[in-house]
Structure 1
Amino acid sequence: MDYDDEYPTCAKTDALLRIFSDDKSPSEISGFLGIEPTSSQEKGGLRNPNNPKSKSKVNCWYFGSKADVQSNDSRRHLDWVIERIYPKKKEFIELKQAGADISICCIWESSSNHGGPTIDPTQMGPLSELGIPVWWEFWYNYDTENS
């Protein structure tokens, strides 16, 4: 695949694998997958230390590309995640069968209020086999002087 790391219409992007489980703790998920998360949240733990009512209703396990991938091309971020999780296909299927909610969220911030990310057909196959949906959160630059 030919990446466009500059991707002129994108200011920044990343990919975040999210696993939510009612009964498996983040450490159990890590042990089961053999992968350490970039962050996690225990069920019942505070999501925001400034708000004592912001308790997590489920266990949260996150694995993201933000710190390791320097590119404005979402495809490179997705591939980074896919390359690390695809070898654990059996484990991901078992987690889903056990009730875990698994998805990949990509942030895509526009640099010019037009354009958008791309997903390559070569990425669709492994994601489909893993049963993991991908969704994007779009951020727009409202600096009208440069738009």
Structure 2
Amino acid sequence: MFIDAVSATDDVFGLAQDKRGRGPLHYAASKASVESVRLILDSQVLGLPVDAKDSCGLTPLMCAVGVPFAQGVDVCRLLARRKEMSVSARNRDGLSAIHLAAIANNLPVLKLFAEEMGKNVEVQQELWKLI
């Protein structure tokens, strides 16, 4: 397993990124793998940043909000609670996880942000009116 193969001195984030700048957390989040996301977040060895952005400016949370699986909400909850700032982070087009959840019509995730986390889901973006 990758976690067993790395040492505390390895640049895990650099080793684990692909050519688009996505790391294991991006992929685990995009596949709604609750177990993998939890393992990566809880690993003392990996130390992968929760809010790391890929070359498009997408964070793992942004990758998770468009997932149509029921576990996607659990993944979003894990990521957002680990670092609440990631909810308001913007990609290179100026869109946040809230925008992307609305675009994907992911009502359970929008409900998570609004009701459980107290986020304002009526965010503005230059190209769009209130969502």
- State the TM-score, normalizing by the size of structure 2: 0.31
Q: Which has the higher contact order (CA 8 A, sep 6+)?
A: 1
Q: Which has the higher strand share?
A: 1
Task: Give the helix-richer structure, 1 or 2.
Answer: 2
TM-score by length of 1: 0.29
Larger radius of gyration: 1
